[in-house]
Structure 1
Amino acid sequence: MIHYLKFTAFPVIAFGILHVMFSGGGAWMYSGIAALVLVVVAGDAVLPDDRSEPRLKHEWFFNLMLWLTLPILFWLSFLFSWALAPTDVLGADHFMQSVFGYDRLALQAGTTWYQWFAGAVAGAFLFGAGGTNVGHELTHRTYSLRDMILGRWMLAFTFDASFAIEHVYGHHKNLGTPADPATAQRGDNVYTFVIKSWLGGYRSAWRLEKARLAKFGYSVWDPVHSRMMRGNLMTLSLYTGAFLIGGWWALAVFWVMSAGGKTLLEIVNYMEHYGIVRRPEDKVEPRHSWNTNKAASTALLYALTRHSHHHAEADQEYWNLRCYQHAPMLPYGYLTTILLALVPPLYKKVMTPILNHWDEHFATPEEKKLAIEASVKSGMNGLKSAQLSTEQARFDSVAA
């Protein structure tokens, strides 16, 4: 039973956070961030690693947990837009107060702009951990039109029409190589990486979709046939809905959640393959991804943390992913690692011995050469492969 219950973590936490924030308003808007940090960071630190690999039968339940994400995202977006609306929208005030106990006027009177911002940051985490993460799972299911449509709508909340294309047909092919905008090179700063990966991923998806449609004589600008344009229009419809319900303030808050969720995705991209190298002609293997089996992260993110198996078998559903405990491991769970990544010097200090271990125990002879080049270029202190390069250069100089 525990293996079923653990994957209720996201909907339970999401609904709980939203109810607390909109019941109280004001300082209660901080509760979303506090709950995420306490539950996920503390949970990963205290709970033993989840290395369980049960064979589970009731697949409908695990799919239901994913499908629930879309109504949660719509509900989250509506709550903020309605609460910030200058007037009663379609007579919703009476319904919201009598059924849920949410008072729009009290929320507006008792909540400052920075408290709304704190609530929007929590919303951005839900957009990213829920929408983008679950959208990622569903858009890998190219065999299911239903799941592809649901996944693309979830990605639309973070204006990510490109992800369903670039991630599936670009990233999974190019990871660990310079051709992949979503692979962070050694020494990359997370803040510049987010922009590079965001823009690079969109350009790559545009090129992929343009090339696909050209085979059939269609334009990438054609909203009927172009997945890029349809995805962009889906996002535009969500922004329009937020504005029509709540006006400019609601639009601004929706943008914070949307851009924040997309930024969260790019920080996760930054972590998942940081510093790992691979030759383009070599097969993608479990050693080309950082893995973690931290329990809270695994439950909340529907086993996205078992990233090594995901890249070994991209079409595997999340409940079938194995722990791959001998794969390259992050020392912490996802949210803890995200917080570390926001402090670049600290992140590099943590990752240096881990990269050294990868070079020594996982890299092939050809990858060791690439690792030396990457380490020298990175300028990071403590990378043994860079030191080997320096020692070899000194030896060659003396020999000459």
Structure 2
Amino acid sequence: MSSSSVELEQAWQDKRWWWLLSPAIPLAFTGSLLAFVWRGQWWCMLLAPLVIHALLPVLDRVLGEDFSNPPESAVAQLDQDMFYRAMVWAYVPLQMIGTVLGAWIAATHVLPWWGYIALVLTVGAINGIGIGTAHELGHKKETLDRWLSKIALAPSGYGHFFVEHNRGHHKRVATPEDPASARMGESFWAFLPRSVWGSWQSAWALEHERLSKQGMRVWHPQNHNLQAWGLTLVLWGALVAGLGWMALPFLLVQAVYAASMLEVVNYVEHYGLLRQKDTAGRYVRCEPEHSWNSNHLVGNLLLYQLQRHSDHHAHPSRRYQALRHFASAPQLPAGYATMISVAYCPPLWFAWMDRRVMAHYGGDLSLVNVQASARRKLMQRWA
């Protein structure tokens, strides 16, 4: 163990009660909906976009990064402590409350178009971050966690993520074959449809293959995609039955926004990074260097340390409270809240990130996961 690692471990302190900030997100955003019901002012529902695109970038900048790692001697105790699992479980019921309240407002209140957009952004943010919660739950072996993952995916209609992320993305990450790994020179707006369609196809193919090996048809009730999508039908069907058809357009639009939040995070996490092939022509094992990492404190506390993505991909079963910083991992210049805002503007993103990709690979473009249509332009720029 290096001396720097020892120093990091010695500096580590358990942030136990700070993890309450993660389930506080749906609580706060739902509170903004209640404030609208009480006050009747549409701007009450602007809390979510203001927090995501304004407050969090400022807090990440002001409070900075935390590079400390838990000592290996503490990992077993951290894993066994039910408090940390409860912090993830708590998100799901609060997420459902926010979704139901948002659908009720959409179906029973007359809103100006800008108020409707604010409502969509609020509930969509709850469920978009809920996909991140489903991500943490879906990696676990416990039955309760895996079903809660599917429930957390129900409001967004993105249940196939349960299959594709665990068995597709983690296998193909940082390769041209992975629909959820962005290529250098590829804008987010080009990446979005490729990732959405490719992930859906992959999830269906993975379940078809798994069930076929067990002698079952792809339409069998054991199909995890069908189970997760079925939960969406139950939830949406119940809301439409109880609130009327006016709830359905709202549910569809907020689901699109929620899914786009996941995909913009996917875009950030592996942009331009490429696993090389060994002498046998197989991709090398995924290491911390194949995912962009961020140690910005506030974002990690709010997102179950999703930003420590390098350790997560190298060690997928490791729980969020024990994820580590690795010096070998490429570091994002800011937290996710800032990065997703920049990703929406391709020229700004390319100006900020392409030079970091090239620096990571020592200026060698042949080592980069490059968008084919942008290769000539990138070669001219980085030759």
Identify the match of residue 374 of structure 2 among 359, 374, 378: 378
Q: Which residue of 2 aligns with 1:338?
A: 340
Q: Partner residue of 2:86? A: 64
2:104 pairs with 63, 71, 82, which one? 82
Contact 2:288/2:328 (<8 A) preserved? no
Q: Is the CA contact 2:361–2:367 (under 8 Å) kept in the aligned structure 1?
A: no
The answer to whether the aligner puts 1:230 opposite 2:227 as a matched pair is yes
The reply on whether 1:45 has 2:45 as its aligned counterpart is no
Distance 1:380 1:77, change over 3 A: farther
Q: Counterparts of 2:28 and 2:228 in 1: how far apart (Å)? A: 30
- 1:304 and 2:303 aligned: no
Closer, same or farther in 2 for the Cα pair 1:15/1:380, shift >3 Å? farther
Cα shift at 1:84: 3.5
Distance change >3 Å, CA 321–CA 10, structure 1 → 2 = same
1:262 has 2:284 as partner: no
Q: Letter of the aligned partner of 1:117 in structure 2?
A: I
Q: Do the aligned residues in 1 keep the contact of 2:25 with 2:126 (CA within 8 Å)? A: no
Residue of structure 1 in register with 2:33 after alignment? 21
Q: CA deviation at 1:133?
A: 0.5
State the distance in 1 between where 2:218 and 2:381 align: 44
Cα distance, 1:177 vs structure 2: 1.2
Preserved CA contact (<8 Å) 2:18 2:301 = yes
> Which residue of 1 is the match for residue 295 of structure 2?
293
CA shift, 1:281, in A, is: 2.4
- Structure 2 unaligned runs (5+)? 1-12
Aligned 8 A contact 1:158 1:262 in 2: yes
- Give the partner amino acid of 1:137: E
1:353-382 superposed Cα distances (whole Å, 9 cap, x missing partner): 101111118x8xxxx6343x837852486x
Q: Distance in 2 between matches of 1:385 and 1:281?
A: 28
The AA in structure 2 aligned to 1:19 is: G
Residues 172/385 of structure 1: CA separation in 2 closer, same or farther (3 Å cut): farther
**How many aligned positions are there?**
356
Largest Rg, 1 or 2:
1
Secondary structure of the 2:52 match is helix
2-structure distance, mates of 1:17, 1:215? 44
Asked if structure 2 preserves the Cα contact closer than 8 Å seen for 1:375 and 1:385, the reply is: no
Q: CA RMSD in A?
A: 2.2
Q: Which residue in 2 is equivalent to 1:139?
A: 138
Name the SS for the 1:158 alignment partner.
coil
Distance change in 2, residues 1:321/1:2 (3 Å): closer
- After TM superposition, give the deviation of residue 302 of structure 1 in Å: 0.6
Give the equivalent residue in structure 1 for 2:10: none
For the 8 Å contact 1:7–1:299, the answer to whether it is kept is yes
Instruction: Give per-residue Cα distances to partners, 1:83-128, cap 9 Å, x unaligned.
Output: 3444xxxxxxxxxxxxxxxxxxxxx36x423213212212211211
Distance 2:116 2:178 in 1: 36
Shift of residue 162, structure 1, vs aligned partner: 1.5
2:362 aligned counterpart, secondary structure: helix
The one-letter code matched in structure 2 to 1:378 is A
Query: Are residue 242 (structure 1) and residue 235 (structure 2) matched?
Result: no
TM normalised by structure 2 equals: 0.87
1:175 and 2:173 matched: yes
1:13–1:148: structure 2 CA closer, same or farther, 3 Å change rule? Answer: closer
Tell me if the contact between 1:21 and 1:31 (Cα under 8 Å) persists in the aligned partners. no
Matched to 1:78, the amino acid is V
Q: Which amino acid aligns with 1:64?
A: A
Residues 248/117 of structure 1: CA separation in 2 closer, same or farther (3 Å cut): farther
Q: Which amino acid letter does the alignment assign opposite residue 284 of structure 2?
A: D
Report how far residue 240 of structure 1 moved: 0.9
Deviates more, 1:304-313 or 1:16-25: 16-25
> Quick check: 1:21–1:32 contact (8 Å CA) kept in 2?
no
- The match for 1:8 is 20
Question: What is the 5 A alignment of 1:156-235?
Answer: 156-222=154-220, 224-235=221-232
Shift of residue 82, structure 1, vs aligned partner: 2.4
Q: Alpha-carbon deviation of 1:19?
A: 1.6
- Matched residues in 1 for 2:380 and 2:16: separation? 44
Query: Cα deviation per residue 1:202-257 (whole Å; 9 max; x = unaligned)?
Result: 101111100111112211112x2211211221111122122123223322222222
User: Which of residues 249, 253, 264 is equivalent to 1:252?
Assistant: 249
> 4+ residue stretches of structure 1 with deviation over 6 A?
none
Query: Does the 8 A contact of 1:297 with 1:335 survive in 2?
Result: yes
* % identical equivalent positions: 31
Distance in 1 of aligned mates of 2:228 and 2:371? 38
Distance 1:387 1:18, change over 3 A: closer
Cα shift at 1:183: 0.7
Using the TM superposition, give the Cα deviation of residue 384 of structure 1 relative to its aligned residue in structure 2, in angstroms: 7.2
| Kept after mapping to 1: 8 A contact 2:131/2:262 | yes
Task: Indicate the residue corresponding to 2:7 in structure 1.
Answer: none
The TM-score with structure 1 as length reference comes to 0.83
How far the C-alpha of 1:386 sits from its partner, in A, is 6.1
C-alpha distance in structure 2 between counterparts of 1:296 and 1:204, whole Å: 33
Classify 1:328/1:313 alpha carbon distance in 2 versus 1 (closer, same or farther; 3 Å).
same
CA contact (8 A) 2:48 2:125 kept: no
